[in-house]
Amino acid sequence: MTPRLSRLALILAVLLLAALAAGIAATWRAASEEFTGILDDDLENQTTLLARLLDADEAPPSRPALEHLLRQAFDAEDEDALWVTVHDLRSGVVASNRAEAFPLVDAGAEEIATRRQGVGWHGHQQRKGRLVVQMLRRDDLHGEVRDEVLEDIVLPAVAGSVVALALLGLFLFFAVRPLTRLSRQLAERDPSALTPLALPLAPREIADLRDAINHLFERVDDVLARERRFASDVAHELRTPLTTLRLALADEQPDLPLLRGETVRMTRVVEQLLVLARLEQGHWRQRFLATDLAQVGRDAFASWQPRARAQGLSLRAELPDAAVMVRGDATLLRILIDNLIGNAVRYCPAGADILLSLSARALRVSDTGPGIPEAARARMMARFERLDRKSDGLGLGLAICVQIAEVHGARLSLSARADGASGLVAGLILPGPEAS
């Protein structure tokens, strides 16, 4: 089971405190050892220096003079007072800064220690000629110094940790609160509600999550809208032929040509609606390759030439011999050209001219037919729009052409002929063909 963030935060806080305690202990031990070493080195240096200074005198001072010197230099009343004793091996003179002199047990020893009145002492001994200098420091002085060092380390560390934990708590509060609000909005939302989530003043990462969810809502809403539109279109277009079929089949002698015609019409409706649905879903873009648009145009021209001739139409083509390469799908581009030529063949009267032309950046199908009024051109590129409701057209051809143009990054336009004659020019403006 995935842990809650609050539990993870508690674990993190415990780990931080444990790391803090370990750091304090390690620092205290290192500081204690380092400071002890410094004090010992200092004591040894002082012992050596005093021994050299006293040995430099040709005539050794008397005991009173030596004791006066030691008590002036090393005040026994100080908290960190040293215990200094000097032994003259020749004269037997012993002088100390304290009332009691430290005894000489081994003149060759370097480190010495003792215990007086429950307090430990340790220090160094230095022999220089006839003199032996002993210098000791109280052991409890080390403990006091360690306690002060520990206090100086612990208090700032604890204060800093408290501040860090407080900041961590605030961070988790402000980080988890937007997530809680977001999850509450999702839990309380109706399954059919796809409006964007509102989450103001959220951190950047949570805002990115909100935007990703809203983008997903938009895509789901778009998919559902396409499905509803597809169902509506199918119901709209199939209602009439299904009614016709039902009435025809109710007759004792059904009109077979009528049945065949309505069946063909329903097949065409479903096929073209499926093409539109796939275009809107964008599945075709995954199959785009370098395609010779000129060759696609030549194939479409050869396919439509017999039908145009049978209807008394003059269908011509002005296509370059060289390849005109575009990135796209040959099947879709063929559907587009077929629809443009098919519209011209369907609506032009006998004797009209139809021209398929291709330049570097534009494919055009122009005719000398009745044309489309300027006010109706934009409307004719919508679904199920027909100038003549009595025609056998489905009103989907130009809508499919618009979708094909969009998925190829191109633009479809309808305009009047440039020479002022009657007719229509359907142009596909390409984004920039690639040379082969």
- Has residue 272 got a pLDDT over 70? no
For the ranges 39-43, 52-56, 220-224, 360-364, which has the lowest average pLDDT?
220-224
Q: What is the chain's mean pLDDT, rounded? A: 78
- How many Cβ atoms are within 10 Å of 301's Cβ, its own excluded? 18
User: Does the pLDDT value for residue 261 go beyond 80?
Assistant: no
Q: What is the pLDDT, as a whole number, of residue 4?
A: 65
Core vs surface per residue 23-43: b (16+ CB within 10 A) or e: ebeeebeebbeeeeeeebeeb
Q: In what order do the strands lie in the sheet with 289-292?
A: 289-292, 324-328, 434-435
% of the chain at pLDDT higher than 70: 79
The pLDDT tens digits for 381-393 are: 655 444 554 444 4
285-435 CATH fold: Heat Shock Protein 90 (3.30.565)
Candidates 424, 408, 414; CA nearest to 379 is: 414
Delimiting residues of CATH 3.30.450 domain(s) in the chain: 5-146
Please state the rounded mean pLDDT for residues 68-90.
81
> Which range, of 235-244, 291-300, 391-400, 426-435, averages the lowest pLDDT?
391-400
**Is CATH 3.30.450 what the domain over 5-146 is classified as, yes or no?**
yes
CA dihedral 31, 35, 37, 42 (to 10 degrees): 160
Most confident of 15-29, 66-80, 86-100: 86-100
pLDDT over threshold 70, residue 283: no
Distances (CA, A) of 287 to 201, 283, 291, 327: 42, 8, 11, 10
What does the pLDDT average to over 132-160? Answer: 77
Q: How far apart are CA 321 and CA 298, in angstroms?
A: 10
Which range, of 93-107, 142-156, 318-332, 418-432, averages the lowest pLDDT?
142-156
pLDDT for 314-360, tens place per residue?
999 999 988 888 888 887 888 888 888 988 898 899 999 999 999 87
Residue 312 has a pLDDT of 93
The listed range with the strongest mean pLDDT (9-13, 113-117, 159-163) is: 113-117
Query: What per-residue confidence (pLDDT) applies to 389?
Result: 46
Q: Which two tokens stand for residue 414?
A: 């309808």
Percent of the chain with pLDDT over 90: 13
DSSP letter at 170 equals: H
pTM for the whole structure: 0.45
pLDDT of 60 higher than 70: no
Q: How far is CA 19 from CA 68, 171, 172, in A?
A: 54, 20, 20
Nearest one of 236, 169, 182 to 396, comparing CA atoms = 236
Residues of the chain with CATH 3.30.565.10: 285-435
